[in-house]
Structures are given as structure tokens and as C-alpha cells.
């Protein structure tokens, strides 16, 4: 690596700031940022959604280690709902009924970073939302009812699935990758001294059924232990490729802040997923951990390495698919690669070497520009008008720059230390632009004090004009990373489950059919909930029985949810109008256990109650 990258002086400063913690000095509580009165009035008007009016966009924000997805309205920045994904959520009974309990499996937490809306021809189609999780899992939320329908994984050989769940332009695949390289298959021992040779990175394609959205493992590619961090799929001319950044091409261990920052460059890995698909069909994969894994040495053309500035984090493909933007965290520039040049370099074999058989492309041959955006560039999103927006962690700002001319047009400070940013449609083929949300890592008391565990901060920024304008501060629970913003009219949720669509084998719609049936020591209680009775109103079983309540909410009225809380047995579920759910307990404790409706549903809500009576043996 002989080429120097611009901003290497700044680099040392950046590294120091990264290490030291880098927020600007802390403002006093309730202190106002100095601003002209007219600006405040404009910001207020632009974000005010009057009572009864609706927001223009949905924002789906990852909940980080809360394992959830937060749904906001934009421009109001109101938190409308939470979609539980990887974590039980008593509010909607998630993780308590038999189906969602099974879906969560043994995990009671998940670290979810990157939501991805499904796409058709590179544009959001409003069908599904996918989201990754660090324990090698990925989930699909159906936007028809805003519910998690599938959790796939943990996927074999993947270790710390961070570079996920970015999708290809027609949702053929969601992406997956190993961030914490480890020996494969999982469960293999190798001492840390063997890191460089025996630890592996893995990149995977998660196949998505175009009709049902059902996910399954498509293929895996084994790589050197580079710690794959983030990804994005090519589109337009670059369709067929996936790009992943890595931050440890040094193959360092121990204090990575030192060892992983030695080289001037790390890599963006480019994987030809259409070739991966073909190679697996041709049987070129080797069975590792029960799945077929491709070695780039066996499949020429499968993978290339694009050198990118020190410790890159985000990689983002422009709306037209021509440019690939990679940002080195420890640089003052973001690098723009030209996909056409990448292809030419591959054709002309402009390689400077290889890493375990994966050719390294010559940096100067594939680069179009180094844009001097500022310190600590992380992620880039795109507007609909040829502008790009890059988050600057160290500068605690967002830079606006022009694709093609590479001019930096504007910069706006954010509060504080932005990670991801999200523009409406900002990673699609046709971004809407208009709004940008800065998902900040620190809030430093820009809110009423709530003690040391401060909320997460997101800021709404108007990007409709030449200059970016801050509109609003919003706060949430931990911890949004990335978000996707979609025009509200692209999403078409139902408001009840239609009776004719309920094919649950245990559903009943007539209270006369309600009651227990027994087979040996298994008792199934067909149950109806409707204003304002839970039928049956009491059930007697024997100690040691396995009891399944199959509960149908026969309401067909919007918002008439009923709950089923069972005291003493740690069960709490919620049944939406027209829905049937089952909840199973082992009745191992004798006694009388009340069950009751937990959702305030009518004037006679209190009366919705009954008893599970467990007769001692
Ligand atoms: S990460 Cu959090 S700032 Cu997990 Cu996408 Cu970049
Ligand atoms: Cu049903 Cu309260």
C-alpha cells in the first residue's frame, strides 16, 4: 500500500478524538441553542402535525440491543409504535404465546442494527422490513400487519452478524457477514495465536422467496479474518454485486484500536452474488458446519478487494448504482469508487496482490474521488437531486456534497456524535430527499435530566433547500443505529384480521363452542374473547396437565384488542381483532389462578375475567 490518502494529518487528530470521546462541550440543561426567532417559527411549522392529521413518512428505526424496531412519524418525530423482533415485549404479548416463543427460541435478547425495506427495481415496495441481529440472525417483519413473521438463524459459520440486512434491488437476497472472525465450523477450537490463519470471515446471501418473503440460506463465502462490518447491494449497473467493508485487514488481535489501524488502507470486499448462486448450483461449495461454503480460490471472479481508507465503516451505493462510497473512520475524506472502473480493472487484471487468493484491485485504478467531507466519516445517504450526505462522527456534523463534482456544499452540526443518518428513500434508486434524520450516539443532556442513563438522540433536518436546517430533537430508548424512511402511502397495513382469512385450526367464532377438551394429560381450551367476556369463564384441570388456551378474538372492529393475562404462570398475550393465538402452560402448581383481559376494551373491561383452577394430584 504505497498511496497516501488525503487528510492523513487530520487522521492523527481524528484517532485521538475517537479515543478520547469527542462530543463538544456539554450545554447546560434547558439551555437553548441560539437561533433567530423566524427560524424557530419555520421549524415549528414544518414539524407540527395537527391533531387528527397524519405524518407524511414512516421511519423504521432499529432498536439496537433492545432487539426491537421503533416506528416514528415524520415530520412530527412522534414515536407511534414499537415492533418487537428479537426480544419479548409484554406490551403486545410478544414472546409469550406459543408461536412467537418458538420463534425467539432460547434467546431473550438481540442486537438489531440495520433495517432494510424490501425493494422492487431498487425502490421500496412497502411489503417487508428485514433486520439483522448480532447472534447470526435475521428477521422479517410483514408491513401488512407490522408483525415479525420469521426469525432465521443463528446461521452456521456466521459470527457477529453486523453487515446485514441490506437487500438486493429486487429483494432476491438479504446480506449477512461475520464481524468477529472465528474458526469455522462454530465450536471449533483455535488458539488466538492462530488468528491470522485459522480464524475466518464469512459472507452469506440470505435467499428471499419473492412471493412469501420466506428466508433461507442461499450461499456462504469464506474469507480471511477481516471483520466485515457493513454492506450495501449494487443496483443498476452494479446490480449483481454486494459490497462489504472490513476494518481489520491487518488480521490483528488484542487491542484493535491499535493493531487494526496500522495500515493506511483496509478493504471493501466486492462479491458477485449471481456467480455465487451459480457456483453453489454447480456444486462448488464445501460442506462446513452443515452448509455449502464457497472458497474464492475455487470460483474465479467471485470476490475482489477494493482498498479503502483506514478502518472504513459504511459503504453506500449511489441511487444510479454507478458509485460506491466508502468512508474510513480515521480519515478526513470519503472515497468514491466508480463501478465501471472496477469492472475495467478486473478485466485488465490491475491487481496489486491478493489476500488468501482474493485479488486486490489497484486503488488509483478504481477511485473517482476523495471528498473532503470532514473528520470521522461513517455513513452516506443520498437525496433525489444528486446530493449525498455523510455523517461525521468526530466532527459531530453532517456534510452535504455533490455527486460528480465532489464539492462539499454545506455542513450542519448535530448534537452529538452522529452514527448513521437516514434520508427519506436515501438508499433506494429514487430517494425522496426532503428530510434527513441524524441518529446521534450521544445526547449530553439536551433533554430533561433522567439520570446517568441518558436517552438516545435523533434530530430531524430539513434538506429541501441549499442549506440544511435543523428542525427537531427527538429522544428514544436504546439504541437506534440505522433507519429507513418511506413515504406513508407506500405502506398499506390492515386494521383488523378479516374473519375469512383466519385458518387457525383451533379458531372458533361461537362462544357455544368454547371450553376444554382433554386427550390424556393434554387439555386444549378453545377460548373466545369479545366485549366483555372471556369464554369459558372458568376451567378446571389436574395438576401436571399441559394446558393450551387457544384464544380467538372474534371482534371485527378496529382497535378492539383483548389481552389474556394469567396470574401465577407468567403468561400475558394480546389478541388482535380476528386473530387466534395459543398459549401453553404446564399446570404444575395447584391452586386458583385468575386470568383477565389486560387491554382496556370497554366499559365492562374489568368484568372480562375467569379462573384456571388446578386440582392437586
Ligand atoms: S453501525 Cu451503529 S453507527 Cu451498527 Cu451500522 Cu454505523
Ligand atoms: Cu377485553 Cu379488556
Q: Which of 314, 326, 438 to mutate to test the pocket of ligand 1 (most atoms within 8 A of CB)?
A: 314
C-alpha cell belonging to residue 484: 429507513
HEC secondary structure over 84-132:
ECCCCEHHHCECCCHHHHHHHCCCCCCCECCEEEEEECCEEEEEEEEEE
608 lines ligand 2 (CB under 6 A): yes
Task: Say if 534 falls within a structural domain.
Answer: yes
- Ligand 1 atom 1: residue of nearest CA: 481
Q: Which pLDDT tens digit goes with each residue over 192-230?
A: 999 999 999 999 999 999 999 999 999 999 999 999 999
Same domain, 247 and 328: yes
Beta strands in 514-569 (DSSP E): 515-519, 522-530, 533-535, 538-542, 546-553, 562-566
What is the Cα–Cα distance from 537 to 594, expressed in whole angstroms? 10
Q: What is the CATH number of the domain that holds 592?
A: 2.60.40.420
Q: State phi, psi for 404 to the nearest 5 degrees.
A: 100, -50
Q: Which pLDDT tens digit goes with each residue over 530-560?
A: 999 999 999 999 999 999 999 999 999 999 9
Contacts of 8 by beta carbon, 8 Å cutoff, 6+ apart? 264, 331
Which residue has 428466508 as its cell numbers?
Answer: 215
* Distance between Cα 553 and ligand 2 center (Å): 10
Same domain, 322 and 351: yes
Q: Which residues of the chain have pLDDT under 50?
A: 1-31
Task: Say if 29 falls within a structural domain.
Answer: no
Task: Say if 443 falls within a structural domain.
Answer: yes
Same domain, 101 and 156: yes
Same domain, 416 and 517: no
Same domain, 445 and 505: no
Q: Which pLDDT tens digit goes with each residue over 19-62?
A: 444 444 444 444 455 555 678 999 999 999 999 999 999 999 99
Task: Say if 1 falls within a structural domain.
Answer: no
Same domain, 358 and 400: yes
Task: Say if 257 falls within a structural domain.
Answer: yes
How high is the pLDDT of residue 37? 63
Strand order, beta sheet including 538-542: 538-542, 609-615, 591-596, 562-566, 571-575
Q: Rounded mean pLDDT of the chain?
A: 94
Parent domain of 48: 10-23+34-490
What is the Cα–Cα distance from 150 to 133, expressed in whole angstroms? 13
Same domain, 142 and 220: yes
Same domain, 208 and 91: yes
CA 37, 41, 46, 49 dihedral sign is positive
pTM of the model: 0.94
Same domain, 460 and 530: no
Residues 65, 67, 73, 76: what is their CA dihedral angle, to the nearest 10 degrees?
-30
127 lines ligand 2 (CB under 6 A): no
DSSP-derived letter for residue 161 is B
- Distances in Å between the Cα of 261 and the Cα atoms of 117, 160, 266, 333 are 33, 20, 9, 16
Task: Say if 548 falls within a structural domain.
Answer: yes
Task: Say if 514 falls within a structural domain.
Answer: yes
Same domain, 483 and 504: no
* Distance between Cα 497 and ligand 1 center (Å): 36
* Cβ-defined contacts of 340-345 (< 8 Å, 24+): 340/237, 341/365, 341/366, 341/367, 341/368, 342/270, 342/304, 342/306, 342/366
HEC secondary structure over 530-541:
ECCEEECCEEEE
C-alpha cell belonging to residue 317: 451505493
Task: Say if 466 falls within a structural domain.
Answer: yes
Which residue has 444528486 as its cell numbers?
Answer: 386
Q: What is the DSSP pairing of strand 334-338 with strand 367-371?
A: antiparallel
Instruction: Give the count of domains, the chain.
Output: 2
597 lines ligand 2 (CB under 6 A): yes
Q: State phi, psi for 121 to the nearest 5 degrees.
A: 50, 35
Amino acid at each position: 500500500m504505497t498511496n497516501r490518502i488525503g487528510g492523513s494529518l487530520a487522521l492523527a487528530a481524528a484517532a485521538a478524538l475517537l479515543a478520547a470521546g469527542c462530543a463538544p462541550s456539554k450545554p447546560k440543561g434547558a439551555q437553548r441553542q441560539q437561533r433567530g426567532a423566524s427560524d424557530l417559527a419555520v421549524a415549528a411549522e414544518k414539524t407540527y402535525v395537527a391533531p387528527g392529521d397524519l405524518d407524511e413518512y414512516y421511519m423504521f428505526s432499529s432498536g439496537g440491543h433492545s432487539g426491537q424496531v421503533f416506528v416514528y412519524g415524520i415530520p412530527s418525530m412522534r414515536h407511534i409504535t414499537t415492533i418487537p423482533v428479537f426480544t419479548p415485549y409484554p406490551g403486545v404479548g410478544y414472546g409469550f404465546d406459543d408461536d412467537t416463543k418458538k420463534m425467539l427460541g432460547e434467546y431473550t435478547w438481540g442486537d438489531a442494527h440495520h433495517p432494510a425495506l424490501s425493494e422492487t427495481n431498487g425502490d421500496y415496495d412497502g411489503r417487508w422490513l428485514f433486520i439483522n441481529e448480532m447472534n447470526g440472525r435475521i428477521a422479517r417483519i410483514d408491513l401488512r400487519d407490522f408483525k415479525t413473521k420469521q426469525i432465521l438463524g443463528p446461521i452456521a459459520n456466521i459470527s457477529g452478524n453486523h453487515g446485514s440486512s441490506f437487500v438486493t434491488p429486487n429483494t432476491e437476497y438479504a446480506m449477512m457477514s461475520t464481524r468477529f472472525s472465528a474458526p469455522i465450523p462454530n465450536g471449533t477450537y483455535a488458539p488466538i495465536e492462530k488468528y491470522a490463519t485459522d480464524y475466518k470471515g464469512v459472507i452469506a446471501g440470505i435467499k428471499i422467496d419473492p412471493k412469501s418473503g420466506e428466508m433461507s440460506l442461499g450461499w456462504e463465502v469464506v474469507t480471511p479474518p477481516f471483520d466485515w462490518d457493513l454492506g450495501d447491494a449494487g443496483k443498476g449497473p452494479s446490480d449483481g454485486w454486494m459490497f462489504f467493508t472490513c476494518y481489520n485487514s491487518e488480521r490483528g488481535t488484542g487491542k484493535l484500536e491499535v493493531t487494526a489501524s496500522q495500515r493506511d488502507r483496509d478493504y471493501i470486499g466486492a462479491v458477485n452474488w449471481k456467480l455465487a448462486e451459480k457456483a453453489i448450483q454447480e456444486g462448488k461449495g464445501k460442506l462446513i458446519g452443515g452448509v455449502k461454503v464457497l472458497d474464492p480460490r475455487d470460483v474465479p471472479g467471485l470476490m475482489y478487494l477494493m482498498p479503502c481508507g483506514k478502518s472504513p465503516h459504511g459503504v453506500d451505493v449511489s441511487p444510479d448504482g454507478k458509485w460506491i462510497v466508502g468512508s474510513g473512520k480515521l480519515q478526513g475524506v470519503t472515497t468514491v469508487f466508480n463501478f465501471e472502473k472496477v469492472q475495467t480493472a478486473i478485466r485488465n487484471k490491475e491487481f496489486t496482490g491478493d489476500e488468501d487468493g482474493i485479488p486486490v484491485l489497484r486503488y488509483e485504478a478504481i477511485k473517482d474521488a476523495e471528498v473532503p467531507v470532514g473528520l470521522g466519516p461513517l455513513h452516506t445517504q443520498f437525496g433525489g437531486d444528486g446530493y449525498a450526505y455523510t455523517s461525521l462522527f468526530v466532527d459531530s456534523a453532517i456534510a452535504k456534497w455533490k455527486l460528480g463534482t465532489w464539492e462539499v456544499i454545506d455542513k450542519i452540526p448535530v448534537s452529538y456524535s452522529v452514527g448513521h443518518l437516514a434520508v427519506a428513500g436515501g438508499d433506494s434508486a429514487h430517494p425522496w430527499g426532503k428530510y434527513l434524520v441524524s441518529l446521534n450516539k450521544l445526547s449530553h443532556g439536551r433533554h430533561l435530566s433522567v439520570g446517568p442513563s441518558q436517552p438516545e438522540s435523533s434530530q430531524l433536518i430539513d434538506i429541501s433547500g441549499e442549506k440544511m436546517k435543523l428542525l427537531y430533537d427527538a429522544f428514544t430508548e436504546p439504541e437506534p443505529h440505522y433507519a429507513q424512511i418511506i413515504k406513508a402511502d407506500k405502506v398499506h397495513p390492515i386494521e383488523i384480521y378479516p374473519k375469512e382469512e383466519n385458518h387457525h385450526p383451533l379458531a372458533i367464532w361461537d362462544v357455544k363452542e368454547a371450553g376444554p377438551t382433554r386427550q390424556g394429560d393434554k387439555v386444549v381450551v378453545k377460548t373466545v374473547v369479545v366485549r366483555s367476556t372471556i369464554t369459558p369463564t372458568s376451567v378446571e384441570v389436574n395438576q401436571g396437565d399441559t394446558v393450551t388456551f387457544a384464544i380467538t378474538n372474534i371482534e371485527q372492529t378496529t382497535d378492539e384488542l383483548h389481552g389474556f393475562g394469567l396470574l401465577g404462570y407468567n403468561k400475558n398475550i394480546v389478541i388482535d381483532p380476528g386473530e387466534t393465538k395459543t398459549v401453553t402452560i404446564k399446570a404444575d402448581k395447584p391452586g386458583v389462578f385468575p386470568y383477565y383481559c389486560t387491554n382496556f376494551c370497554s366499559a365492562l373491561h374489568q368484568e372480562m375475567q375467569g379462573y384456571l383452577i388446578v386440582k392437586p394430584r
